[in-house]
């Protein structure tokens, strides 16, 4: 299990670096990220959230109804198409615990990425998975869902997190 960074943290604002080659280290990192994500629990996790500045994210696109988990590992993901239509979803973030706010994003996105076998993939996401993959790719660019909120609301959430971190530091 890896420690998930809590906002505010400069590492959550940095732009992650492209992955040069998919090797055993990347496979081990993907396993660590999936284990950490399931334990949180969450449906997505980006490498910068565990202080690894690589462009890699994991998601579990298990459709709500069927039980079989479907872990996905996206390396160097890029949004190559977005729908005109937009969706609003009440988002949360494992790096900003217990805070939720409505965020509007394109309802559908097409993403191209490299998978753990080094194969290039390209897929269209809709629904919660469109929201999730955009939320995770934002993490790779140092962007958090609170960056889409009004400054006052963002500051309120940031102050709550600073208080939480002070309390955690005091143990």
- Binding to ligand K2U by residue 157, rule CB under 6 A? no
Smaller CB distance to ligand K2U: residue 30 or 45?
45
User: Residue 91's binding partner, choosing from Zn ion, ligand K2U, none, with beta-carbon cut-off 5 to 8 A by kind?
Assistant: ligand K2U
Rounded least distance, CB 91 to ligand K2U, Å? 4
Considering only residues 32 to 91 of the shown chain, the ones binding Zn ion according to CB under 5 A are none
Of these, 26, 95, 113, 130, which contacts ligand K2U (CB under 6 A)?
95
Looking at the DSSP assignment, which residues form a beta bridge with residue 78?
Answer: 112
Q: Give the Cα separation of 85 and 99 in Å (integer).
A: 26
- Binding to ligand K2U by residue 72, rule CB under 6 A? no
Which of 50, 13, 6 lies closest to 169 in space, CA to CA? 6
Which of 140, 118, 113, 162 lies closest to 16 in space, CA to CA? 140
Annotated catalytic residue 136: yes
Closest-by-Cβ residue to ligand K2U is: 42
> Strands across the sheet with 109-114, in order?
44-46, 56-60, 71-82, 109-114, 120-125
Which sequence positions are flagged as catalytic?
136
């Amino acid at each position: 299990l890896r420690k998930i960074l809590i906002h505010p943290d400069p590492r959550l604002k940095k732009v992650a670096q492209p992955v040069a080659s998919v090797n055993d280290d990347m496979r081990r990192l993907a396993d660590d990220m999936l284990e950490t994500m399931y334990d949180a629990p969450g449906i997505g996790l980006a490498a910068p959230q565990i202080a690894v500045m690589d462009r890699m994210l994991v998601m579990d696109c298990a459709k709500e109804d069927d039980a079989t988990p479907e872990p996905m590992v996206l390396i160097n993901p890029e949004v190559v198409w977005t729908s005109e239509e937009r969706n609003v979803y009440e988002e949360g973030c494992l790096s900003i615990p217990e805070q939720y706010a409505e965020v509007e994003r394109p309802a559908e996105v097409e993403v191209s990425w490299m998978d753990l076998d080094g194969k290039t993939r390209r897929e269209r996401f809709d629904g919660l998975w469109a929201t999730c993959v955009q939320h995770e790719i934002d993490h790779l660019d140092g962007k958090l869902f609170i960056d889409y909120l009004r400054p006052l609301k963002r500051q309120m959430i940031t102050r709550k997190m600073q208080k939480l971190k002070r309390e955690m530091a005091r143990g």
